[in-house]
DNA sequence: CAAGATTGAAACCTCAATCTTA
DNA sequence: TAAGATTGAGGTTTCAATCTTG
């Protein structure tokens, strides 16, 4: 493995690879912590103000941006970073709440689509206020605009290294492709 | 909230705050995606090679670095980014696997401590290889060393903005305090 | 009463198996 | 046979309530 870690006090004068004693590992740990706190905050605020979770909000968001405000289950899964069955259940909840409807895909009898209802659109609009506000407050405004660009590039690079498979182990629709605004 | 979003096609020529149409939001989405892919990969690799999950590995790691290779439950919770009950259950599993033991805190009769067993230390050592390797491959080496420093600072700033509370809503032991190496 | 920790119930997500259709 | 989606079962995490001790 790496060189010396504080675990095995072996004094290894070796080269670059990561040591658990870090310095370099600091960014990694910060990344984990920032993510944990951030999503917890945003999720809590969304639940308190609009009775939806962060994953639910993201589902509504992607549906809202999709061409007909409708999306195939698999596509939705790719964007929400959940497994196939994960989205099935997420959509179940949204349907139960009246925010989404299920619809047969006209071109493929196997296919199901999730469609945003008017109520869902309303909820999305009001929740967006809270969410964007939070992202601004806790993420955007916390870092220098120049650094934001650095982060943007870095995250993409990391995604590519780690990615290529979704939660089910299937190749992913390269979730980096541009998201089209709704007409 | 912000200004225009593609949701309501209102053309608002306003100032800085986030619009869901983004560009600026790109870093945020990249952040979420990078995290999702990264932890999934690392978790999968750890499970495959050493039969432990990423949270379990992190618990072992923090115990391994703690003064006596032992930590109070609450402190462990702070470092593993889990709620109090979350750690109780995590430690339950580790105890069941023989990697950790529970011990009465000598100075506080209410207190419980988790102590790394020899087997736990062995597991930690071998798993560290896999883990550090993964962090190196998917995170470190994916970004320019200079950018790594930027990320480090940014993540800290974000943590501070979003933080100050743990999963239970309690003020957190400022999880940024230095982690002492084990003697 | 407050703090440390655990427990029961419930929410959420994933894996593997299944069903239907291409 | 493979692809789209759902279902059953199981694992992990959290919330709220509880118990014990300071």
* pTM, rounded to two decimals: 0.85
B110 CB inside 7 Å of strand C: yes
Q: Residue A150 above 80 pLDDT? A: yes
Task: Find the Å distance, CA of residue A89 to C1' of nucleotide D6.
Answer: 9
Residues B65-123: tens digit of each pLDDT: 999 999 999 999 999 999 999 999 999 999 999 999 999 999 999 999 999 999 999 99
B133 at A interface, C-beta within 8 A? yes
Chain A neighbors of B141, CB-CB under 8 A: 161
Residue B155 φ then ψ, to 5°: -65, -40
Is B31's CB within 8 Å of A33's CB?
no
The overall average pLDDT reported for chain B is: 84
Among A40, A140, A181, whose Cβ lies nearest the Cβ of B167? A40
Q: What span, in angstroms and rounded, lies between the C-alpha atoms of B77 and B95? A: 16
Task: Find the Å distance, CA of residue B55 to C1' of nucleotide C4.
Answer: 22
Residue-level pLDDT at B12: 35
Residues A87-107: tens digit of each pLDDT: 999 999 999 999 999 999 999
A154 at B interface, C-beta within 8 A? yes
Q: What span, in angstroms and rounded, lies between the C-alpha atoms of A78 and A175? A: 6
Give the total residue count for chain B.
Answer: 183
For strand D, the positions having any atom within 7 A of a protein Cβ are: 3-8, 12-17, 20-22
B89 at A interface, C-beta within 8 A? no
Closest nucleotide to residue A40 (Cα to C1')? D14
Q: Give contacts of A 25-64 with B, CB under 8 A.
A: 25-28, 30-41, 61, 64
pLDDT confidence band for A76 (50 / 70 / 90): very high
Residue-level pLDDT at A181: 32
Residue-level pLDDT at A49: 97
The overall average pLDDT reported for chain A is: 84
Enter the DSSP assignment of A181: P
Give the total residue count for chain A.
Answer: 183
Residue-level pLDDT at A180: 31
Helices A54-65 and A25-50: crossing angle, nearest 10°? 80
Q: What span, in angstroms and rounded, lies between the C-alpha atoms of A31 and A24? A: 12
List the structure tokens of B118: 């020899």
Residue-level pLDDT at B167: 61
> Would you give the end-to-end CA distance of chain B in angstroms?
52
Closest nucleotide to residue B86 (Cα to C1')? D13
Among B6, B149, B154, whose Cβ lies nearest the Cβ of A151? B154
Closest nucleotide to residue B56 (Cα to C1')? D12
List the structure tokens of B143: 């970004």
Q: What span, in angstroms and rounded, lies between the C-alpha atoms of A121 and A127? A: 10
Among A34, A39, A167, whose Cβ lies nearest the Cβ of B40? A167
pLDDT confidence band for B165 (50 / 70 / 90): low
């Amino acid at each position: 493995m790496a060189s010396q870690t504080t675990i095995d006090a072996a004094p290894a004068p070796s080269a670059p690879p990561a040591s658990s004693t870090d310095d370099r590992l600091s960014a990694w740990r910060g990344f984990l912590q920032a993510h944990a706190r951030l999503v917890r905050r945003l999720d809590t605020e969304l639940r308190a103000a609009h009775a939806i979770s962060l994953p639910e909000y993201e589902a509504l968001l992607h549906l809202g941006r999709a061409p007909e405000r409708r999306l195939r289950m698999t596509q939705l899964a790719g964007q929400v970073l959940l497994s196939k069955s994960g989205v099935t259940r997420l959509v179940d909840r949204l349907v139960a709440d009246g925010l989404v409807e299920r619809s047969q895909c006209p071109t493929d009898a196997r296919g199901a689509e999730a469609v945003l209802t008017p109520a869902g659109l309303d909820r999305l609009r009001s929740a967006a206020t809270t969410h964007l506000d939070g992202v601004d407050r806790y993420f955007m405004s916390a870092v220098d605009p120049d650094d934001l660009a650095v982060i943007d590039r870095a995250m993409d690079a990391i995604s590519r290294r780690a990615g290529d498979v979704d939660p089910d182990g299937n190749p992913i629709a390269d979730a980096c492709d541009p998201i089209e605004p709704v007409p």
